[in-house]
């Protein structure tokens, strides 16, 4: 009886030992599974973080590239605008110079002496000023225009009187030339020889 009881106790202890070993193996397996799952989640998180970092970095690089392209485009546009403005100014200057060369004015001192023959004596009247003529490529255009600045009665007409009248007309022509030269090139103005007319009225 005692031997049977001991064998029964031994069997019970053996069963308990097997249960403990099974529980230990199960716990070990559970720990390994949990560790594997944790490691897997950690790898996935690291992968996602790396992927997001890669996406963010790629987006950042793309934005930087777009910004650089826009800056280069703005710089190119500014350069083109500056070149176009420079060309426009050069063309305008050439056109202005061509117009100045094409159009000119000739100013000539002008003297006109009118003689009124009377019964007893003759009357004389002088008109002094200047004549200006528009020129196109050096060729007279339209009719000349006469500006009389001074008129007076004179008693007699001789060389000395005519010379004095010419001097007076030359002063008027020089003054007019200064007015016409404002804003124009010197080549646009020509001062010609005096005009002296003696007519009977």
Query: What is the mean pLDDT for each group of 10 consecutive residues in the chain (201 residues)?
Result: 56 63 67 71 67 65 80 82 81 62 83 81 87 85 90 87 92 86 68 88 73
Q: Which two tokens stand for residue 128?
A: 């002094």
Whole-prediction pTM: 0.49
* pLDDT of amino acid 156: 81
- Tell me whether residue 136 is in a domain: yes
* pLDDT of amino acid 79: 85
Q: Which two tokens stand for residue 163?
A: 């010379």
- Tell me whether residue 146 is in a domain: yes
SS3 category, 78: helix
* pLDDT of amino acid 10: 54
- Which CATH number goes with the domain that contains 148? 3.30.160
- Separation CA 187–CA 180 (nearest Å): 12
- Tell me whether residue 62 is in a domain: no
Q: Which two tokens stand for residue 79?
A: 């350069």
DSSP state of 182: T
CA distances from 178 to 86, 129, 130, 181 (A): 32, 15, 13, 5
* pLDDT of amino acid 131: 94
Query: In the chain, how many domains are there?
Result: 1
- Tell me whether residue 72 is in a domain: no
* pLDDT of amino acid 126: 92
CA distances from 67 to 60, 73, 74 (A): 10, 10, 10
CA distances from 119 to 100, 123, 158 (A): 54, 10, 21
Residue 114 pairs with which residues in a beta bridge? 125, 199
* pLDDT of amino acid 39: 67
Place of tokens 């060389």: 159
Nearest to 106 by CA among 142, 78, 65, 80: 142
- Tell me whether residue 163 is in a domain: yes
Q: Which domain holds residue 168?
A: 102-200
Helices (H) and strands (E) in the chain, counts: 2, 5
- Separation CA 108–CA 190 (nearest Å): 8
* pLDDT of amino acid 27: 66
């Amino acid at each position: 009886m005692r031997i049977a009881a001991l064998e029964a106790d031994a069997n019970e202890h053996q069963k308990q030992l097997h249960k403990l070993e099974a529980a230990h193996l199960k716990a070990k397996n559970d720990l390994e599974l949990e560790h594997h799952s944790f490691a897997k989640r950690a790898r996935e998180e690291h992968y996602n973080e790396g992927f997001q970092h890669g996406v963010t970095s790629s987006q950042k690089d793309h934005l930087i590239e777009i910004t650089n392209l826009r800056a280069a485009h703005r710089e190119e546009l500014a350069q083109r605008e500056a070149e176009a403005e420079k060309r426009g100014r050069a063309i305008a200057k050439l056109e202005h110079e061509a117009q100045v060369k094409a159009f000119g004015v000739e100013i000539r001192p002008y003297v006109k002496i009118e003689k009124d023959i009377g019964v007893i004596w003759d009357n004389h009247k002088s008109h002094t000023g200047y004549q200006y003529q528009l020129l196109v490529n050096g060729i007279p255009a339209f009719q000349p225009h006469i500006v009389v600045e001074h008129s007076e009665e004179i008693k007699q007409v001789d060389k000395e009187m005519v010379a004095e009248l010419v001097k007076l007309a030359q002063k008027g022509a020089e003054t007019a030339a200064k007015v016409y030269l404002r804003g124009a090139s010197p080549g646009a103005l020509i001062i010609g020889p005096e005009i002296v007319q003696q007519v009977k009225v």
